[in-house]
């Protein structure tokens, strides 16, 4: 069963009301299961955690997996064209990663501080991770960029995060150009090497600023590859979900049904919904690029698989027992052990097949996580 609860539409989003009138929705999925978090563990050597992206983008490896049988094929990512058919729809997440990691000093003491922007609550007010948390209580002021920007801690919210109000010269900057000046890309904690080119933690079709992490399955595409895909009569359709750092938050409960997902802001436009529905009705498959595109479509689809135009916050949690409504195939990277993303791909195939596939990928030397290799599951 899927339980849907309506919420108020988020205000002051960057889109400036372009999608006004669409619905806002939180979707919570709770199929019955006896699985525990430890049931999604696999052993991964640290040496197989990719520290740098493949060059060129589409030269990464691709493990093709039959979701029903577990049969696999070893390919290169640019070979994805061999598995796409005329009439298919490729759904991509066009959210753009912002330089969300900021370093500053506490105004009254000079203590060094770190702030990671998680999500915009309203204009110039962001929910953030902060360090050191014990020193950044409501009322504290942080100075960034030698005075280019100041932030006041408004309050502490759920999970220990803080709401910060930012003040800067609006005649000189908008907030996103300011971030380009003072911020750094918020690479996941398992990437320890410095990123030489910040655009490599960005998909080539990134457009809507607001993510604290990249929708990494899309990092493998080049403009040339997407052009070739479009020439095959495969539609490339953007949706948007701003990825939060909750993506990397470990599941700390024993029973997966006790885990509460972080919510993320998403948009499905009228044009995207229409194209997806029309091509699927005509017999084409809907192929999601990444778990964020998958979660977006499944949040916007009804029980008959029709995708509806809407915007809002989704907390959908997909794990074995879930019945997919809108997605027919998935392009994705390899995910962390015991993560909600591994649970999602296990729901699309099976836990046994996915763990066997992951163990096979380890044995074959595939690279894992954000800058790692890809899978095509169909």
Condensed to tens digits (0 to 9), the pLDDT of residues 338-357 reads 999 999 999 999 999 999 99
pLDDT value of residue 26: 44
Q: List Cα–Cα distances, 246 to 165, 188, 243, 261, 342, in angstroms.
A: 21, 11, 8, 8, 14
pLDDT value of residue 247: 65
- The three-class DSSP label of residue 29 is strand
How confident is the model over 131-164, as pLDDT tens digits? 999 999 999 999 999 999 999 999 999 888 999 9
Q: Which of 62, 70, 355 shows the shortest CA–CA distance to 217?
A: 62
- The three-class DSSP label of residue 285 is coil
Q: List Cα–Cα distances, 63 to 69, 74, 81, 360, in angstroms.
A: 14, 5, 14, 10
The Cβ of residue 228 has, within 10 Å, a number of other Cβ atoms equal to 15
pLDDT value of residue 194: 87
Cβ 215 vs Cβ 331: under 8 Å: no
E-assigned strand segments in 107-223: 112-122, 125-131, 141-144, 149-156, 162-168, 183-184, 208-211
Cβ 247 vs Cβ 341: under 8 Å: yes
pLDDT value of residue 29: 53
- CA 218: distance to chain centroid? 10
The 10 Å CB-count burial string (b at 16+, else e) for 284-299 is bbbbbbbbbbbbbbbb
What pairing do the DSSP bridges indicate for beta strands 235-241 and 89-93? parallel
Sign of the four-CA dihedral 242, 190, 134, 340:
positive
Per-residue pLDDT of the chain (378 residues; tens, 9 = 90+): 333 333 333 334 444 444 433 444 444 556 767 899 999 999 999 999 999 999 999 999 999 999 999 999 999 999 999 999 999 999 999 999 999 999 999 999 999 999 999 989 999 999 999 999 999 999 999 999 999 999 999 999 988 899 999 999 999 999 999 999 999 999 998 999 988 898 999 999 999 999 999 999 999 999 999 999 999 999 999 999 999 877 667 799 999 999 988 889 999 999 999 999 999 999 999 999 999 999 999 999 999 999 999 999 999 999 999 999 999 999 999 999 999 999 999 999 999 999 999 999 999 999 999 999 999 999
Cβ 182 vs Cβ 150: under 8 Å: no
């Amino acid at each position: 069963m899927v339980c849907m609860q309506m919420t108020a539409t988020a205000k002051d989003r960057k889109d400036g009301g372009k999608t006004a009138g669409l619905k806002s929705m939180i979707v919570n999925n709770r199929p019955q299961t006896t699985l525990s978090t430890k049931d999604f563990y696999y052993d991964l050597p640290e040496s197989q955690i990719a520290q740098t992206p493949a060059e060129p983008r589409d030269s990464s490896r691709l493990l093709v997996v039959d979701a029903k049988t577990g049969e696999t094929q070893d390919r290169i990512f640019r070979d994805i064209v061999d598995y796409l058919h005329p009439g298919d729809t490729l759904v991509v997440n066009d959210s753009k990663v912002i330089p969300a990691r900021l370093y500053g000093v506490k105004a009254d003491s000079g203590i060094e501080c770190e702030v990671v922007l998680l999500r915009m609550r309203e204009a110039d007010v962001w929910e953030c991770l902060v360090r050191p948390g014990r020193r950044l209580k409501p009322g504290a002021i942080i100075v960034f960029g030698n005075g280019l920007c100041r932030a006041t801690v408004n309050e502490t919210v759920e999970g220990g995060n803080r709401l910060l109000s930012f003040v800067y010269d609006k005649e000189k900057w908008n907030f996103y150009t300011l971030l380009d000046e003072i911020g750094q890309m918020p690479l996941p904690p398992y990437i320890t090497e410095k990123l030489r080119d910040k655009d490599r933690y960005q998909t080539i079709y990134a457009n809507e600023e607001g993510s604290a992490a990249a929708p990494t399955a899309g990092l493998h595409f080049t403009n040339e590859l997407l052009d070739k895909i479009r020439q095959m009569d495969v539609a490339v359709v953007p949706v948007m979900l701003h990825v939060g750092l909750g993506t990397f938050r470990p599941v700390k409960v024993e029973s997966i049904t006790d885990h509460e997902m972080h919510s993320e802001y998403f948009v499905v436009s009228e044009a995207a919904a229409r194209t997806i529905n029309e091509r699927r009705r005509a017999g084409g498959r809907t192929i999601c690029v990444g778990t964020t595109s998958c979660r977006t479509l499944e949040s916007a689809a009804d029980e008959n698989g029709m995708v509806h135009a809407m915007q809002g916050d989704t907390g959908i949690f997909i794990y074995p027992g879930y019945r997919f409504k809108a997605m027919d195939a998935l392009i994705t990277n390899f995910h962390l052990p015991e993560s909600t993303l591994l649970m999602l791909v296990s729901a699309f195939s099976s836990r046994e097949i996915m763990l066997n596939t992951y163990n096979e990928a380890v044995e074959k030397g595939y690279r894992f996580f954000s800058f790692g290799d890809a899978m095509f599951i169909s």
